Amino acid sequence: MTDAAALLRAYDDQLRTDAETANAVFASRRGPLRLAVFAGGYGFVSYRDLEGFDAAAIDGLVGDALAQFEADPAVTAVEWKTRAHDRAPGLIESLLAHGFAAEEPESIMIGEAALLVADVRLPDGVVVRRALDERDVRAMSAMQDEVFGDPVSIERADDLVQRLDGDDGTELWIAEVDGVIVSAGRLQPVEGSEFAGIWGGATREEWRGRGIYRALTAARARSALALGKRYINSDSTEFSRPILERSGLVKVSMTTPYIWRR
């Protein structure tokens, strides 16, 4: 399956489900919306679609959802995940009016996992492996925070440690040189679907352009195939999108997170 429209249908049908909130501390439904709170007080809003809702109704959904999060003092930020292919009249205007701000858009990339499998020649001294203990995970999380320009988050690291110890199939992969992590990413199999997601891909700037991210992606794709998954999906920045496109993945849409902060 390489047709973008068919891949997009598979994405909407198989991934825009309760799978998006499977690891939440709390999750509920409000009309068509899925509302969730993740570790660290991070709220999240998603949905299969908003078909049949006009601008006034969508504005009501935004206000109701935000009011639910505002009522929980533990929630410090909320992400409303928009998709460019949705028909949602007035949504962006309503989000902005309620205090949400747009983050950088990302490309929704999908394709056969087998397309990502390749033997990549790594720079001397670079080793790609799974992160298997808490020390690995915390070092990985701190590196990703640094690369993305965020403060080092103990909460995010705690969440990754819990995922590693859980039963949802999360795999954490790292590339290291002399024990120092230079690239990392997560593989997230989606239960009840043909998909596994690759997330959190980050490479230190001085190590980019040397095949390390490509090798890390290939390792995750091999593991996805071993788990019986057919497709890989990723919300990709402009750093990773060209690499995935060269491997045969297809850009099927765009996603832009809108963030509200308390």
Q: Which two tokens stand for residue 30?
A: 């409000």
How far is it, in rounded angstroms, from Cα 222 to Cα 148? 26
Cα angle at 164 between 242 and 215, to 5 degrees?
A: 30
Which residue type sits at 159?
Answer: D
Q: What is the mean pLDDT of the chain?
A: 93
Is the pLDDT at 209 greater than 80? The verdict is: yes
Average pLDDT over residues 73-97: 97
Q: What band does 243 get if pLDDT is binned at 50, 70 and 90? A: confident
Residue found under tokens 């001294």: 125
What would the pLDDT profile of 19-46 be if each residue is shown by its tens digit? 888 888 899 999 999 999 998 899 999 9
| pLDDT recorded at residue 2 | 58
Q: What percent of the chain has pLDDT over 70?
A: 99
Average pLDDT over residues 183-204: 93
- By C-alpha distance, which of 219, 231, 171 is closest to 195? 231
Q: Quick: pLDDT tens for 165-177.
A: 777 789 999 999 9
pLDDT at 12: 96
Predicted local confidence at residue 77, as pLDDT: 97
pLDDT of res. 1: 47
Between 169 and 230, name the one with better pLDDT. Answer: 230
pLDDT at 100: 98
Question: Residue 252 has what pLDDT?
Answer: 97
Distance CA 134, CA 140 (A): 10
The pLDDT of residue 89 is above 90? yes
Q: Residue 153: what pLDDT? A: 87
Statement: residue 163 has pLDDT above 90: no
What domains lie within the chain, and their CATH numbers? 4-107 (3.40.630), 111-253 (3.40.630.30)
Q: Which residues of 92-114 are buried (b: 16+ CB within 10 A; e: fewer)?
A: bebbeebebeeeeebbbbbbbbe
Instruction: Compare 22 and 208 and report the one with higher pLDDT.
Output: 208
